[in-house]
Amino acid sequence: LSDATIASKNKDLVQRLESTLLHWTKQIKEVVSGSENTQQLEASGPIEEIELWGRRDKDLSGIKRQLEQPRLKEIINVLQLAKSSYVTNFQSLASMI
């Protein structure tokens, strides 16, 4: 990905990057939605709730660190240059973290 403009014209590469971005989007949605967390909270006490929120904080912090990686920014740049329709959704989701 040393030259984003050239990379954005490589259809195979763009498709692989889009596939990766879709996978990341799905993973982030799972963590952000945290639907299983609410179910656990309803049947737990205060200690379990504190532990659950600690795990959630750790998960979200890890995702945030990954989103700040230069390599990810390069991938997003290539996909933006390729006018990928998946970038906007991913960026919107990433901004929630």
**Which DSSP category does 3 fall into?**
S
97 pLDDT above the threshold of 90? no
Backbone angles phi and psi of 82, in degrees to 5: -80, 0
pLDDT tens track for 52-88 = 888 888 988 999 999 999 999 999 999 999 999 999 9
Cα distance between residue 63 and residue 69, in whole Å: 10
pTM equals 0.77
